[in-house]
């Protein structure tokens, strides 16, 4: 019959229990062997999550992606995230390492965390050696991250808590010693959960607002020496008395401002490349240097004492919502005053 012919035709291209067979019986599992196209991770059993995950930098060993606000990195129990996580989106956004790359991971793995409402740069490992190397850099505080936030009010800048860029550098906080506008910083050295917690910050600019404390929204740049739980959010809310706009957890109820989520972005990161500084990696790095079309501007040579090392140095623009919110608040203030 036609149905039997269809079954035979279907069956002739399938494997059952790993063996070619010509009869389909009850409870048999039917599978089809498919050759996956190059450049895709194999074995995906779910669809691409419903959000875009921009790739800022990528090679065979590591990558940096721009995490959107409101998306968790990992799924948590009973949170309802299911597959809507960065972890699940990575195999769709990144390419697998080329054949022959040592220690390839089955799927790319995030190297650290960013709070769900925070946007910005996230480091990802594509091989096991890269995951180990980057994890050690976080432990030794070699990875340097910079955040930008909009806070509610005017943060206090006490003379006693001001430090120079040189002092910040000696503390192990990454600052640009050549930037004239980056020579003075404000220090927050307040323990969190009975552990040392150090943040430095500086004002970038101020914006008028009818609803903000002192009618002012302040855009600040923040850098961490330590990485305690919600450190930036807690330090700005409790110590600086100016919570980050959109922080529903630490902002005082009567001072809450309605924006579009949390106005906190990890917009700069610098770390030592986990492969190009190894014996094998240096050979590949020389090949890259000989081919300008292969060289990425994110890769830079940095002096470390008498030695040189290859680093990844990345910065991104702030999300569009930052400028849109500040322009709207400034416009409303000017119209009604």
Q: Specify the pTM.
A: 0.84
The 10s digit of each residue's pLDDT in 172-197 is 888 888 888 899 999 999 999 999 99
Q: Per-residue b/e over 49-59, b at no fewer than 16 CB within 10 Å?
A: beeebeebbbb
pLDDT of residue 19: 58
Smallest CA-to-CA distance from 259 within 245, 278, 273, 279 is with 245
State the average pLDDT for the chain. Answer: 87
pLDDT recorded at residue 37? 52
* Segment-wise mean pLDDT, segments of 10 residues, the chain, 337 residues: 46 53 68 55 80 96 97 78 87 94 96 96 98 96 96 92 93 87 94 95 97 96 94 94 92 72 97 96 88 79 87 97 96 92
- Contact predicate 327/302, CB 8 Å: no
pLDDT for res 75: 86
User: Residue 207 corresponds to which tokens in the numbers above?
Assistant: 């914006």
Domain ranges of the chain: 1-37, 47-140, 146-266+324-336
CATH topology of domain 47-140: Pseudouridine synthase (3.30.2350)
Distance (Å, rounded) from C-alpha 195 to C-alpha 175? 24
What pLDDT score does 10 carry? 45
Cα Rg for the chain, rounded, in angstroms? 25
CA distance 22 to 10: 10
């Amino acid at each position: 019959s036609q149905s039997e012919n269809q079954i035979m035709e279907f069956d002739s291209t399938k494997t059952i229990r790993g063996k070619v067979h010509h009869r389909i019986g009850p409870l048999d599992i039917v599978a089809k062997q498919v050759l996956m196209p190059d450049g895709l991770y194999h074995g995906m059993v779910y669809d691409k999550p419903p959000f875009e995950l921009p790739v800022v930098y990528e090679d065979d060993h590591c990558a940096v992606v721009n995490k959107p606000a409101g998306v968790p990195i990992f799924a948590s129990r009973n949170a309802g995230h299911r597959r809507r996580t960065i972890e699940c989106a990575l195999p769709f956004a990144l390419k697998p390492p080329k054949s022959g790359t040592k220690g390839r991971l089955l799927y790319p793995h995030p190297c650290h965390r960013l709070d769900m409402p925070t946007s910005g740069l996230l480091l990802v490992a594509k091989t096991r050696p890269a995951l180990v190397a980057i994890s050690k850099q976080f432990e030794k505080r070699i990875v340097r991250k910079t955040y930008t936030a909009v806070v509610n009010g005017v943060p206090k800048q006490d003379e006693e808590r001001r430090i120079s860029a040189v002092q910040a550098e000696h503390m192990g906080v990454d600052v640009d010693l050549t930037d004239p506008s980056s020579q003075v910083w404000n220090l927050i050295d307040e323990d969190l959960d009975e552990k040392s917690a150090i943040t430095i910050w500086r004002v970038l600019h101020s914006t008028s607002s009818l609803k903000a404390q002192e009618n002012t929204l302040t855009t600040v740049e923040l850098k961490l020496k330590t990485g305690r739980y919600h450190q930036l959010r807690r330090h700005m809310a409790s110590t600086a008395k100016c919570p980050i706009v959109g922080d529903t957890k630490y902002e005082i109820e009567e001072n809450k401002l309605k924006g579009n989520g949390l106005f906190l972005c990890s917009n700069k990161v610098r770390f030592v490349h986990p492969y190009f500084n190894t014996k094998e990696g240096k050979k590949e790095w020389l090949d890259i240097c000989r081919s300008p079309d292969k060289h990425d501007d994110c890769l830079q040579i940095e002096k470390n004492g008498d030695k040189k090392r290859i680093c990844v140095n990345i910065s991104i623009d702030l999300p569009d919502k930052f400028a849109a919110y500040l322009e709207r608040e400034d416009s409303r203030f000017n119209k009604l005053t």
